[in-house]
Amino acid sequence: MKVHVKLALGNKSDAQVLVDSDNYTGDMTASSYFTAAPIVAQVTATKNAAINMRAKIMAPMSNTYTGDVKTAREALERQLIQLAHLVEGVANDPAVLDANRLNIIHAAGMHEKNTHHPGKHKFTVTDGSILGSTALLKAEGGAKSNLWAYTADVINFTNRIDVEPTTPAHTEVPGLLPHTEYAFFHKGIHVHGNTAWEGPILFTTSRAGAAPAPHTTPTTGTTPPVTG
């Protein structure tokens, strides 16, 4: 069988494309599947395109700002598409067993077409009790305590705001702005040592006064390396 990567770039915000790019290149750098020189070169090209896009987004407003960001995103998307083709090439190599093809795609942090992939996060973000100004964060149980943080900087993830630690594996973040994208982070503290920060998960709060949805699907994503 052949497997194919689904990037779904057209459905993602600029910030999510950058998060995914960081995740793909980070995972591929750490994986033994992607050590061939052309793949390493493409990973580097993708990283550079992401750096350029971040720079354009963070640049001062000007008459060319919107066009510059659009051009930088298009360049990054081209690099990501090429990266996905290379991952497919490794996964679909005739020497690879069918049972291992999806494992190779997942090793790149990518998802395959026509198959649900839950992602790596062990926490979720949904609307909180007050639509537009709160977010509900839930993690897996088992940690001695849970640390939470968030930021409105969804490009470089600076100025993170710490939320009160909790013993239960959930918390509600208050004081958010309506219809605004935030990046959320979680860290579980365990008896045998701290785990790394998870995140970011990008989540856009509801518009002020929005009616409650009958069912809200948790927002999940992929995790680039996070320091702190």
Q: Of how many residues is the chain composed?
A: 228
On the question of pLDDT at 107 being above 90, the answer is: yes
Amino acid identity of residue 39, one-letter, is I
Under 8 Å between Cβ of 80 and 21: yes
pLDDT per residue as tens digits for the range 149-185: 999 999 999 999 999 999 999 999 999 999 999 999 9
Q: From 84, 70, 73, 121, select the one nearest 5 (Cα to Cα).
A: 84
Under 8 Å between Cβ of 31 and 108: yes
pLDDT at residue 226, as a whole number:
39
Amino acid identity of residue 154, one-letter, is V
pLDDT at residue 12, as a whole number:
93
Residue 202 CA: distances (Å) to CA of 38, 88, 103: 31, 27, 25
Under 8 Å between Cβ of 12 and 110: no
